Amino acid sequence: MALELIDTSARDVINLLKTAYYEQTGQTIQIGSDEFASSAVQAYVWPLLFNTINNATLNRYIDYSRGEYLDALAANYGIDSRPAGYHATAKFILNPTHITIEIPENGVIIQDDYGNQFTNKYKLAISETDNIRVLEAVDPGSKFNGIPTGEINTIVQGSEFVQSAQNYTITEGGTDGYPYTTEGDDLYREYLKNYIKSMSGAGTAAAYEGRAYNADSRVKDVYVLNQGDTGYQKGKVQIYIISDSETDLDEQVLDIVQRSCEDPSFRAIGDLVVVRYAEKYNLDLQFVIQVSYPVRFIDIAVNRDVRILNEYKQILLNEIGRPFVFEEFCAMLKEKDENGVYASDAKPIVPNDLSQPAPIYPGTGKVIDLNSVSFNNVRDYDAN
């Protein structure tokens, strides 16, 4: 059962206005009159307002709903059942039967000794010198993850295209969909929000952003260049992503997102889609962070500084465009950790006496990689 929303159209509104006008005046609104012009404007404004209210209502409930109530909200967007999850992927070495060959969609199926099958979900062109491609599990699910290298090597279908094949990376990225648990609902909630973005109109940045998020479970952040951004080009959709994939699988995730966003059934006609990883902005801080520790903690201060620095660095690397904020970093240094260790104060002191320097932004399509931070640990005899 879907959530009840305000449902109206321009025709409904103008009919209501014509009826109300007749009841009040006993006359019919004449085409070309001022009353008709006013009614026509309202007939288009009110449905837009109602649509905004509906979207706000749906998003408000999405944040808090669980289980079947979350499903009811999804029904308003045409989702009748929860998605089955993501397909695991791996890189395969495919040795063609001829020097150069084109494999149709799902033309090759390779499996391991346990019947776990992988296939090409899109058309492939391979040759003897260019024969490494990403294949996906035939079905979604986490059970396809973790298959060791070289174990998927039996050709079930497509022997006319490839004479031998095997995976040279471990399979990963498969999920079991969104079960009716707290964790499952939270994952489904994020999926639904990104799905709504992708429905916001083919060709919009939000639509591409939502599409990229839902392309693969390993995608952690997405940014699409907007008009006004450095490097923006009209008609060229430039998508930056971050994933939690291992280094040798980065290209695999990139390929999956690229294919999803350039799918003709989704992509706006005329859009050129380019997906790339967010670039790293290497930051060497010129400020020294002075951290004041109670005397009893000073011996473990150095290790604690480095640990918190690494934690903050990971935060910066997980979000495209996130700035380095001195106040935010210093707050983490002061906060009490699980062992009860804390700093009484933390502040930047070099090269000048600014108490809180301005945030450092990495630029469009980039993440900050902290190369070096200098600490000066001092004893605070007054701290408890």
Condensed to tens digits (0 to 9), the pLDDT of residues 330-360 reads 999 999 988 899 999 999 987 766 667 889 9
For the chain, the domains span 10-62, 89-167, 200-277, 280-380
pLDDT tens digits along 297-328: 999 999 999 999 999 999 999 999 999 999 99
Q: What is the Cα–Cα distance from 54 to 15, expressed in whole angstroms?
A: 22
Which is more confidently placed, 19 or 132? 132
Query: Structure pTM?
Result: 0.59
Nearest CA among 191, 225, 220 for reference residue 208: 225
pLDDT tier for residue 6 given thresholds of 50, 70 and 90:
very low
Q: What is the Cα–Cα distance from 190 to 379, expressed in whole angstroms?
A: 45
Q: What is the Cα–Cα distance from 225 to 362, expressed in whole angstroms?
A: 14
Most confident of the ranges 122-126, 168-172, 196-200, 267-271: 168-172
Residue 166 pLDDT > 80, yes or no?
yes
Q: What is the Cα–Cα distance from 115 to 117, expressed in whole angstroms?
A: 6
| pLDDT computed for residue 5 by the predictor | 43
Residue 22 pLDDT > 90, yes or no?
no
| pLDDT computed for residue 42 by the predictor | 59
Q: What CATH class is the domain 200-277?
A: alpha beta
CA 166 to chain centre: 30
User: What are the structure tokens assigned to 32, written together?
Assistant: 């070309």
Q: What is the Cα–Cα distance from 194 to 241, expressed in whole angstroms?
A: 14
Average pLDDT over every residue of 238-262: 81
Whole-angstrom CA distances from 238 to 56, 245, 368 are 28, 21, 19
pLDDT tens digits along 228-244: 888 888 888 999 999 87
pLDDT tier for residue 55 given thresholds of 50, 70 and 90:
low
Residue 11 pLDDT > 90, yes or no?
no
Q: What is the Cα–Cα distance from 346 to 330, expressed in whole angstroms?
A: 5
The answer to whether 323 and 361 have CB atoms below 8 angstroms apart is yes
Average pLDDT over every residue of 241-249: 70
| pLDDT computed for residue 1 by the predictor | 39
Lowest mean pLDDT among 55-64, 67-76, 218-227, 286-295: 55-64
**Could you count the other beta carbons within 10 Å of the beta carbon of residue 310?**
11
Residue 54 pLDDT > 60, yes or no?
no
Q: Are strands 124-127 and 109-111 parallel, antiparallel or unpaired?
A: unpaired
User: If you average pLDDT over every residue of the chain, what do you get?
Assistant: 82
| pLDDT computed for residue 228 by the predictor | 80
Residue 106 backbone zone (phi > 0: left; psi -120 to 50: alpha; other: beta): left
Which is more confidently placed, 265 or 201? 265
DSSP, res 226: -
Residue 56 pLDDT > 50, yes or no?
no
